[in-house]
């Protein structure tokens, strides 16, 4: 199995001197260019959350006063970071896997080796740092935009005042929640290039191999994000 060796090399490469040019280029690709898609999608997820919560609360206790508080908490602890990073896994992870697999198929990786350039240092480390940092930034922004979308929809659809939304948020949400969301985003983001590069480096040959690497990368990243989310939620539950 190449996975333990791959993980060890990725880990070591992370602490070598960072290729800053590549890092900023990747961070722009991950953070800046993914921003509209991520914010658009999470806004709708937040609105759906509010509407569904209100429907169920009204059905159960004939009162939707607690919906903003619950929804804000759910958005900050789960929705914001998870949805943002799942979208990143689809957009960025697939791109990385395809890019690296194509480089392998076209023997560009061999060329790097001939030039004496460590492929992990050159390809994986900047992407991993950029994706981890981008994941954290996007998670924070996604949470805030989600909250704003929830605020709007609760006023428009549920008829709640801004004061009642904020009061509900005050009752449930703590300032540390946004930092815990950022930590989640950081961890989720870091896994995407690691998995994508693994499937890129060790996939099958040919065009079919590139396609398989892309698919497997997205699936594995998404599953890993869900598992890490569970682990982090369990760890964070000790701090709430």
Please identify which residue in 84, 92, 141, 210 interacts with another protein, judged by CB under 8 A: 141
Task: State yes or no: residue 67 binds another protein (CB under 8 A).
Answer: no
Task: State yes or no: residue 144 binds another protein (CB under 8 A).
Answer: yes
In the three-class reduction of DSSP (H, G, I as helix; E, B as strand; rest coil), residue 19 is classed as: coil
Task: State yes or no: residue 113 binds another protein (CB under 8 A).
Answer: no
**Burial tier of 114 (Cβ tally within 10 Å: 0-12, 13-18, 19+):** exposed
> Which residues have a Cβ under 8 Å from the Cβ of 174 and sit 6 or more positions away?
240
CA-wise closest residue to 105 among 199, 194, 193 = 199
> How many residues sit close enough to another protein to count as binding (CB under 8 A)?
25
Half-sphere exposure of 96 (CA within 13 A, CB side): 33
From its phi and psi, is residue 117 left (phi > 0), alpha (psi between -120 and 50) or beta?
Answer: beta
Question: Alpha-carbon distance 152 to 144, whole Å?
Answer: 12
Please identify which residue in 27, 85, 94, 210 interacts with another protein, judged by CB under 8 A: 27
Window of 83-91, 140-148, 191-199, 201-209 that interacts with another protein by CB under 8 A? 140-148
Task: State yes or no: residue 173 binds another protein (CB under 8 A).
Answer: yes
Nearer to another protein, 129 or 201 (CB): 129
Please identify which residue in 18, 41, 51, 65 interacts with another protein, judged by CB under 8 A: 65
CA-wise closest residue to 144 among 75, 89, 44 = 75
Task: State yes or no: residue 132 binds another protein (CB under 8 A).
Answer: no
Task: State yes or no: residue 40 binds another protein (CB under 8 A).
Answer: no
CA-wise closest residue to 236 among 146, 148, 168, 174 = 174
Window of 9-17, 31-39, 48-56, 196-204 that interacts with another protein by CB under 8 A? 31-39
Tell me which residues touch another protein (CB under 8 A).
Answer: 24-25, 27-28, 31-32, 35, 63, 65-66, 69, 137, 140-141, 144, 147, 166-167, 169-171, 173-175, 178
């Amino acid at each position: 199995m190449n996975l333990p060796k791959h993980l060890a090399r990725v880990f070591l490469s992370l602490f070598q001197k960072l290729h800053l040019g590549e890092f900023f280029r990747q961070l722009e690709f991950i953070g800046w260019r993914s921003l509209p898609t991520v914010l658009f999608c999470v806004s709708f997820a937040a609105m759906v959350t509010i509407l569904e919560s209100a429907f169920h609360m009204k059905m159960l206790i004939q009162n939707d006063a607690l919906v903003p508080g619950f929804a804000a908490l759910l958005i900050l602890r789960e929705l914001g970071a998870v949805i943002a990073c799942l979208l990143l896994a689809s957009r960025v992870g697939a791109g990385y896997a395809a890019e690296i697999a194509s480089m392998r198929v076209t023997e560009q990786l061999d060329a790097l080796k001939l030039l004496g350039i460590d492929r992990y240092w050159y390809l994986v480390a900047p992407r991993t740092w950029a994706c981890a940092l981008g994941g954290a930034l996007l998670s924070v922004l996604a949470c805030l935009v989600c909250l704003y979308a929830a605020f709007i929809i609760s006023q428009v659809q549920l008829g709640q005042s801004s004061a009642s939304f904020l009061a509900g948020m005050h009752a449930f949400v703590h300032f540390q929640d946004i930092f815990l969301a950022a930590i989640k985003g950081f961890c989720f983001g870091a896994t995407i290039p690691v998995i994508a590069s693994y499937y890129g480096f060790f996939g099958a040959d040919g065009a079919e191999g590139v396609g398989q690497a892309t698919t497997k990368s997205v699936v594995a990243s998404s599953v890993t994000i869900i598992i890490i989310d569970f682990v982090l939620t369990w760890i964070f539950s000790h701090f709430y």
